[in-house]
Structure 1
Amino acid sequence: MRIALSIPSNNGVRDPLALADLAVLAEELGFDSVWTSEHLTHVSYVHARLGDRPYFHPLATLSHIAAKTSRIRLGTSVLILPFHQPFEIAKYVATLDQFSGGRVTLGVGVGNVPEEFEAMNIPWNRRGAITTESIQVMQALWTEEVASFEGKHWSFSGVRTSPKPVQQPSIPIWVGGNSDAAIRRAARLGTGWHPSAIGPKDFGESRKGAVDILEEHGRDVSTFDFGVRLNLGVGEAVTTEGERKAFVDGNDSQALGRELDAYRAAGATYCILAPASDDTDAVAQTLRNVARDVLPDFPSDHDR
């Protein structure tokens, strides 16, 4: 199981350059990858946590990190696809893959805050269908020299785009979400399933169902990623009720090691550690502690 870092770009850090410094440190310490999250408006629990403090754009943040690093993989945990036009995201992510030398994993999801959809005038009840078609559109644009697609939201033919991604045949796509619909979307279209707010026991049970669905679709489970997100308490951590379903004190290396062992035993191939803090100095020290006390038991390979 590989250990990754969720950059706290969603925690109200005021200095964006400090986020890049954390990514550089994570690379130096041997973390497998760094990930960013997305909300576009401060509503619901985002406003309750941040007020008016920054929540930085996930792809812009990764673009800067790509220029500051050379080996560590870059991912989104997750990009909310119904918020975006898939042609624009396909171009941006393929460009980022080119600039980073093929280091991108695109984690996607349907979104979970109805008020945000209302503010953006996006139909809440169509978010699943939009996400599915967006994935299909991006894959067509990345893999077909002359792309075509026929769907309810997008239909086109004879479309040429460039650049294509460095990674072939396509950029890895992880589908986020804990629902059966998310698992089926991952099995049909993705290279990984990325649930969150789920403890090791529940993850293990859900993974069994995911394996059954993958096998129904003729997928090779051995090449499919199961990436979970584990929230770390750092200092005076502020977390939501959902986040506390997968939470451990980031300064308790023994407790963290036990939780990671439990996820690994349940079949996780990745665990993304998400520090719940805007104190980047404290996060940096937590990363050093994790690298010293925990990472040796979870070796990583940046050439995967």
Structure 2
Amino acid sequence: MHPPPRCSLGVPNDPDLLAPFARRAEELGFDGLWTQDTVNAANFSLDGLHVLSYLAAITERVRLGVGVLYSGRRNPAVLARELATIDQLSRGRLTVGIGVGNVYHRETLAALGIETTRPVRRLVEGIEVMRALWSGEDHRGELYSFSGVRSQPEPVQRPGPPIWIGARAEPALRRAVRIADGWTGAAPVSTADFLRQLDIVRDELAETGRDPAGFAVSKSVYLAVEDTEQLARERLIPVFDRSFGANPVYDATDMADRVAVFGPPDRCAEELRVLVDAGVDELILYPMYDRLGQLDAFAEVVAALTGARRP
């Protein structure tokens, strides 16, 4: 059996809910809080990095993560300083999720004057730049070259905060193993698809001779806990329709049944156990509605999954 996973939460976008949500999550023993990065938000959306700074001030123990940053959106030197600042404010609790983003975002980014060419090279070299600045080293690359540049503050975690790649396609999954500290699977991906992606990651770990124990695997999961599966499904369907109805990548049709985990706590724990037994190190659980009200029910799921007693 795989050891119990870390169980974290995706935080709400409502400023009024952030503090009570984070404090209650910490009281209940959750391991982390995660924000998201949004390129072009049609609905109200807070900046994920600023939210992490806020969470660093109102929590003491939980790790803090962002999943995932779009690598080409920010200059890597500026991003290195922002992330190091959050790592300092949180006293070394930051995990950085990063990826190339979706193709359909690039037209908007280009219209805003943000460079969108060579996205993979910008991801790879951007990570190299951040690590060089965190370590006080020079860098020679195709897109960025510098010497004698020093960035402050240094991150608390050395040589820097762990970097997890958000990826779905095979080349990106293999790249994650080669350049990152972990891989984070997307919430709108079904368990079956995620397990196929995990097979690719494991194959690359074996081919490169990398120790799997030193490479983190996480999966974001949409979770809804109710007394019955029917009630949970009825509450989830309109949320998915609103959130993904116009999404060009993920099909909202029957999305609740394809990607969400829902129902009574024991049933939810049973479904999540498939991921744990497959070797997932961290589950990032996202409430889709009644975010503060669902927290205690989520804790029941985690207790059923891990055997841990609730505080």
Calculate the TM-score normalised by the size of structure 1: 0.85
Cα contact 1:34–1:74 (8 A) shared by 2: yes
Cα contact 2:155–2:161 (8 A) shared by 1: yes
Letter in 1 for 2:131: Q
**Shift in CA distance, 289/41, structure 1 to aligned 2, threshold 3 Å:** same
User: Which residue matches 1:214?
Assistant: 205
User: Which residue matches 2:227?
Assistant: none
Where does the alignment leave 5 or more consecutive residues of structure 2 unmatched? 225-231, 245-249
* Offset from partner CA, 1:252-303 (integer Å, 9 cap, x none): 32332122101112221111111223xxxx2122111111343353379xxx
- 1:234-253 → structure 2 map (5 Å cutoff): 235=235, 236-238=238-240, 239-240=243-244, 241=250, 244=255, 245-249=258-262, 252-253=264-265
Residues in 2 aligned to 1:83 and 1:265: alpha-carbon distance in whole angstroms: 36
User: Which residue matches 2:28?
Assistant: 29
Q: CA shift at 1:153, angstroms?
A: 1.6
Letter in 2 for 1:132: V
Note if 1:269 corresponds to 2:281.
yes
Note if 1:171 corresponds to 2:153.
no
Which of 280, 290, 302 does residue 298 from structure 2 map onto?
A: 290
Q: List 4+ stretches of structure 1 deviating above 6 A.
A: none
* Offset from partner CA, 1:81-117 (integer Å, 9 cap, x none): 1100111111111111111110000000111133433
- 1:93-104 → structure 2 map (5 Å cutoff): 93-104=83-94
User: Which residue matches 1:135?
Assistant: 127
Matched residue count: 279
Cα contact 1:229–1:246 (8 A) shared by 2: no
Where does the alignment leave 5 or more consecutive residues of structure 1 unmatched? none
Residues in 2 aligned to 1:215 and 1:140: alpha-carbon distance in whole angstroms: 27
Residues in 2 aligned to 1:276 and 1:285: alpha-carbon distance in whole angstroms: 11
Cα contact 1:201–1:266 (8 A) shared by 2: no
Cα contact 2:131–2:160 (8 A) shared by 1: yes
Cα contact 1:2–1:298 (8 A) shared by 2: no
Cα contact 1:200–1:266 (8 A) shared by 2: no
Note if 1:230 corresponds to 2:232.
no
Query: Which segment is superposed worse, 104-113 or 233-242?
Result: 233-242
Letter in 2 for 1:184: R
**Shift in CA distance, 29/119, structure 1 to aligned 2, threshold 3 Å:** farther
User: Which residue matches 1:4?
Assistant: 8
Letter in 2 for 1:247: A
Letter in 1 for 2:196: E
Residues in 1 aligned to 2:39 and 2:111: alpha-carbon distance in whole angstroms: 10
The 3-state SS of whatever aligns with 1:237 is helix
Give aligned-pair identity as a percent. Answer: 35
Q: CA shift at 1:152, angstroms?
A: 1.9
What is the CA RMSD across the aligned residues, in angstroms?
A: 2.1
The 3-state SS of whatever aligns with 1:159 is coil
